Chains A and B, each alone.
Chain A
Amino acid sequence: MIEREVRHGLGVVNVNLLAVQDLRKNFGQFEAVKGLSFTVEKGESFGLLGPNGAGKSTAINMITGLFPPTSGEIRLRDIDIVRRPKQAQKTIGVVPQEIALYQEMSAKENLKFWGRMYNLSGKKLEISVDGVLEMIGLTDRARDKVADFSGGMKRRVNIGAAILHQPELLIMDEPTVGIDPQSRNHILETVKRLNHEGMTIIYTSHYMEEVEYLCERVGIIDHGQVIAIGTLRDLRESIGDRSRIMIMLDGETFNQQEIINHLEGSGLSVDKDILFKENLLTAFHKEPQNILGGLIQYLTRDGIKISSVEIVEPNLESIFLQLTGRSLRD
């Protein structure tokens, strides 16, 4: 049974727009998604984070009704997406990771075509297309072929094609991959604006800063399972609000075990606080300045060369790294 309501502190009752319960997908012997469960409230901006192969895209494809799960339940309001995907898709917009446009057609022709695929026609279609062109900032390039656009402009049209029918839920799968900063900013602002206008967003990305900027709540997915879910504040607290000290060591001039032993002697736990991956030593600490001096002194005393030292404030990357032992781009 899926919980349908979430009661907040001030007594406001929000109905879940999307509820995913114990979602599983097997491809032969391979279990790509293993009992995924989460909810997304109406008007919320929800981030879904995970490295390549974590099961994000498979989960999204099932949520959008592209293919059915092996088991589990997905509901968009009262609509069972597994059984009635076409009904659900009327109120879902999807921005795929790849550019899903006809390259030989102009931006306007593409938008008109996709609008028609959502049964828009006549004046309503014209208004919608013009509005979207304005929103994505391509009114003056509307008649140019998509093939002639830059990567960022293509991404903007890719988003535009998903919002023509004014969906209640917009699912964006890595919408800013491989584009210039200017286009990225434009896309982020567009997403922010859509969310402020009431559109519910599910946003997946490799870029932590994007998720941190856009999303109120985040689900972290790895090996087909949600390993953490909550607001950014919740998640920060779950790792003790600790900063990351990242020290890049030079060459093979050090003994990994000796360094770990030393850090353990300083009160850090090898399981919770220290990560050693090749030449990169990562330590998590609430007050990094208290241990950094001693650590550098210890390393340099034995002739170990240090290439770089970086202290990173607690963020999603830290959370992900601490939860999985891997960075998002692994």
Chain B
Amino acid sequence: MSFWWLAWKDLKMIARDKKALLTLILMPLILIAILGSAFGNVMKQDDDSVLEKFSMGIVNLDKGPLSKVLVEEVFENQMKDQIEIKSLHESELRKKITEHHLPVGLIIEPGFSDSLMTGEQAKVKLLTVPDPGLKAVVVQKVVEQFADSVPIEAAAAQKASLVQTGTDGEKKTLQEMDLSKVSLLNETTVSAKTKMVGSFQYYAAAMGVMFLLMTVVQGVSNMILEREQEVYNRLLLTHLTYTYYLLGKLLGLVVICLAQAAVILMGTGLIFGVDWGDSASGVLVMTMAFIINACGLGVLAGSFVKTEKAFSVAGMFGTQIMAVLGGSMVPMYLFPDWVNSAVKFLPNALALQNYLKLMTGAGLADILPAVLGALGLGILFFVIGLIRLSMGRRGRYA
């Protein structure tokens, strides 16, 4: 159990370092408050932003002609430069959006065409990932405009026939067909409980993962610094093996990160009222998996870098790049879909995407594949780091 005492020593030393404690605990909360407030407005002003072409899934349950026009003429033809349409079954669409493979989906309910023609409430359901940004707005506007214009044309034709008959009752029916007053769209983010993610929520998760990443970099820097000093050689001359050395370091780092995560989770919840979702176990397991993944990556990177100075510089740049790609700086849904899919191998991106899922009501079962992936990657990184470290010692000159 010598690795446990190594971890305990690291924790004791951190606990005595007031500056480090301040950075670990206060800084994340301050930044979350600043960014959550500042970017809250930006996220509401998505209309001014530039929109890349995106994919949308459509389920057309309506047999009428108007839904066909909406899908084929409007979306597939007129908007082909902005939106790529994928026709899907409902279950397929829900799965893809839940898994963030599609940002937006549209379900055209049965009777859509008839409802529009008769002026009844037409039913269309817009499904989105949390915080879809402009994509959802664009689809919503298109559907609303379609709903406004198509029945008017239909009504014009009907009016001509009514004028011919000239009955008062039928004229009244015609006025009631003004669909601008009809609530057409039922917008929802996908999950059983269908919650939306606010800016504070988003940045609580985004800043949280970024700070945890920075803590990992700091921890690995300290590990490299120790390796540059004589204490490391002395450690290796005791009962401590390479494996136990890395396990001890990893354990210490994981506990420090868990403490920071607890502060972020509870602090944002209590101070800013951030809702991390209904699944406490999901948040806990995801946090643990993310930390192990990030620490494993850190240990791997640390095993390839010889000096603490070099790692600190590389770590600083690496963290910033990972934070940008992972959605900690700007909302991830402003990126093209392929970027969001590609960056899932980054611990922070994977964690953030799954925290957002949890915030929208997903449970532990929904994020389990991501958790397993993160754990697997973390262990793989750790093993490679261990091999690298033990091999690196063989050629060292005294």
On A, residues with C-beta under 8 Å from B are 27, 30, 32, 57-58, 60-61, 64-68, 86, 89-90, 92, 94, 96-102, 104-105, 109, 113-114, 116-119, 161
Beta-carbon contacts of B7-36 to A below 8 Å, as 1s and 0s?
A: 001001100100000000000000000000
Which stretch (B120-128, B177-185, B232-240) binds chain A? B232-240
The complex places the Cα of A96 from the Cα of B229 at a distance, in Å, of 11
The complex places the Cα of A271 from the Cα of B239 at a distance, in Å, of 50
- Of listed A30, A57, A96, residue having the most chain B CB within 10 A: A96
Q: Pick the contact of B9 from A32, A64, A102, A118 — CB < 8 Å?
A: A102
Say how far A122's CB is from chain B's closest CB, in angstroms. Answer: 13
Q: Which of B367-398 contact A (CB under 8 A)?
A: 393-398
Seed contacts A60-B398, A67-B395, A116-B5; 11 additional CB < 8 Å A-B pairs: A61-B398, A66-B233, A66-B393, A89-B238, A96-B230, A102-B13, A109-B12, A117-B238, A117-B239, A119-B239, A161-B234
Q: Determine whether the beta carbon of B2 is less than 8 Å from that of A117.
A: yes
B78 CB contacts on chain A under 8 angstroms: none
Q: Determine whether the beta carbon of A100 is less than 8 Å from that of B16.
A: no
The complex places the Cα of A68 from the Cα of B391 at a distance, in Å, of 11
- Of listed B5, B230, B237, residue having the most chain A CB within 10 A: B237
**In the complex, which residue of chain B has the Cβ closest to the Cβ of A59?**
B398
Q: Which of B195-240 contact A (CB under 8 A)?
A: 229-231, 233-240
Q: Determine whether the beta carbon of B237 is less than 8 Å from that of A65.
A: yes
- Which 10 residue pairs spanning A and B have beta carbons closest together? A117-B238, A98-B230, A100-B230, A100-B234, A58-B398, A116-B5, A57-B398, A61-B398, A27-B397, A100-B231
Beta-carbon contacts of B228-269 to A below 8 Å, as 1s and 0s?
A: 011101111111110000000000000000000000000000
Given A92-B237, A102-B9, A116-B5, A27 and B230 touching (CB < 8 A)? no
A and B contact pairs by CB, cutoff 8 A, 15 listed: A57-B398, A61-B233, A61-B398, A66-B237, A66-B393, A90-B239, A94-B234, A100-B231, A102-B231, A104-B13, A113-B5, A114-B234, A114-B238, A116-B5, A117-B6
**In the complex, which residue of chain B has the Cβ closest to the Cβ of A33?**
B398
The complex places the Cα of A140 from the Cα of B152 at a distance, in Å, of 96
The complex places the Cα of A90 from the Cα of B237 at a distance, in Å, of 9
Question: What interface size band does chain B fall in?
Answer: 20 to 34
A89 CB contacts on chain B under 8 angstroms: 237-239
A101 CB contacts on chain B under 8 angstroms: 231
The complex places the Cα of A161 from the Cα of B238 at a distance, in Å, of 11
Q: Determine whether the beta carbon of B235 is less than 8 Å from that of A86.
A: no
B237 CB contacts on chain A under 8 angstroms: 64-66, 89, 92, 94
Q: Determine whether the beta carbon of B394 is less than 8 Å from that of A67.
A: yes
Q: Determine whether the beta carbon of B13 is less than 8 Å from that of A117.
A: no
The complex places the Cα of A252 from the Cα of B13 at a distance, in Å, of 59
The complex places the Cα of A119 from the Cα of B398 at a distance, in Å, of 27
Q: Determine whether the beta carbon of B240 is less than 8 Å from that of A117.
A: yes
Q: Determine whether the beta carbon of A113 is less than 8 Å from that of B230.
A: no
Q: Determine whether the beta carbon of B395 is less than 8 Å from that of A116.
A: no
B398 CB contacts on chain A under 8 angstroms: 32, 57-58, 60-61, 66-67
A94 CB contacts on chain B under 8 angstroms: 234, 237
Q: Pick the contact of B5 from A58, A65, A92, A117 — CB < 8 Å?
A: A117
B229 CB contacts on chain A under 8 angstroms: 98, 100
- Of listed A98, A102, A117, residue having the most chain B CB within 10 A: A117
A27 CB contacts on chain B under 8 angstroms: 395, 397
The complex places the Cα of A316 from the Cα of B230 at a distance, in Å, of 30
Q: Determine whether the beta carbon of B395 is less than 8 Å from that of A117.
A: no
The complex places the Cα of A68 from the Cα of B12 at a distance, in Å, of 34
Q: Determine whether the beta carbon of A104 is less than 8 Å from that of B395.
A: no
Q: Pick the contact of A100 from B2, B233, B397 — CB < 8 Å?
A: B233
B236 CB contacts on chain A under 8 angstroms: 66
The complex places the Cα of A113 from the Cα of B5 at a distance, in Å, of 7
A65 CB contacts on chain B under 8 angstroms: 237
A113 CB contacts on chain B under 8 angstroms: 5, 9
Beta-carbon contacts of B95-120 to A below 8 Å, as 1s and 0s?
A: 00000000000000000000000000
Q: Pick the contact of B397 from A32, A99, A117 — CB < 8 Å?
A: A32
The complex places the Cα of A238 from the Cα of B350 at a distance, in Å, of 73
Q: Determine whether the beta carbon of A117 is less than 8 Å from that of B235.
A: yes
Beta-carbon contacts of B159-197 to A below 8 Å, as 1s and 0s?
A: 000000000000000000000000000000000000000
B16 CB contacts on chain A under 8 angstroms: 104
**In the complex, which residue of chain B has the Cβ closest to the Cβ of A64?**
B237
B234 CB contacts on chain A under 8 angstroms: 94, 96, 100, 114, 161
A66 CB contacts on chain B under 8 angstroms: 233, 236-237, 393, 398
B5 CB contacts on chain A under 8 angstroms: 113, 116-117
A100 CB contacts on chain B under 8 angstroms: 229-231, 233-234
Q: Determine whether the beta carbon of A105 is less than 8 Å from that of B13.
A: yes
Say how far B389's CB is from chain A's closest CB, in angstroms. Answer: 13
